[in-house]
Amino acid sequence: MEKRIKQKEDETFGFNLWRICRGCVPTCVKLVQRQVLCTNLCQWCGMEAETDWHAFIGCTIAKESWSSAGLSELLLSRKHHFNTLQDLVFDICSRESAEAAGRVAVLLWQVWSARNDVVWNDTRKTLLAIGGLALNGW
């Protein structure tokens, strides 16, 4: 049973990474581009357009989540060298250890999951809840 749960988690994290690397995370900006009637503003802060970069890197909640997961070093050393989330994630996956890349995959999944909880369930997770699994569970 635990093996099956672990496999399901790996598939979920992998699917999220696949969506990021293919540029097909359904952010509000992408939904508006596809004629969906909704705001293009970030679902967390409501201050900037919700691009994939903003949702996973630029938003205050995303930055703090990287920090609470103990992964801000990986982000800060790359943030100004890449223009797209895809390139940044690809660089982490190709240059860092499998453990570090796995923790980043978990964090990205948690950030997106927490964002979806705001949209669909009107609940906001704490930073510790967002970054905790990436910090402890990988």
Which residues contribute to the site for Zn ion (CB under 5 A)? 42, 44-45, 59
Q: Are 100 and 111 in contact (CB under 8 A)?
A: no
Q: Give the pair of three-digit tokens for residue 115.
A: 């964002």
In whole angstroms, what is the distance from residue 43 CA to residue 55 CA?
A: 9
Three-state DSSP class for 19?
helix
| Torsional class of 39: left (φ above 0), alpha (ψ -120 to 50), beta (otherwise) | beta
Provide, rounded to whole angstroms, the least separation between the CB of residue 96 and Zn ion: 26
In whole angstroms, what is the distance from residue 120 CA to residue 22 CA?
A: 24
Provide, rounded to whole angstroms, the least separation between the CB of residue 2 and Zn ion: 35
Residue the block writes with tokens 């895809």: 86
Closest CB to Zn ion among 102 and 124? 124
Closest CB to Zn ion among 42 and 105? 42
Provide, rounded to whole angstroms, the least separation between the CB of residue 30 and Zn ion: 15
Closest CB to Zn ion among 62 and 101? 62
Closest CB to Zn ion among 42 and 111? 42
Provide, rounded to whole angstroms, the least separation between the CB of residue 7 and Zn ion: 32
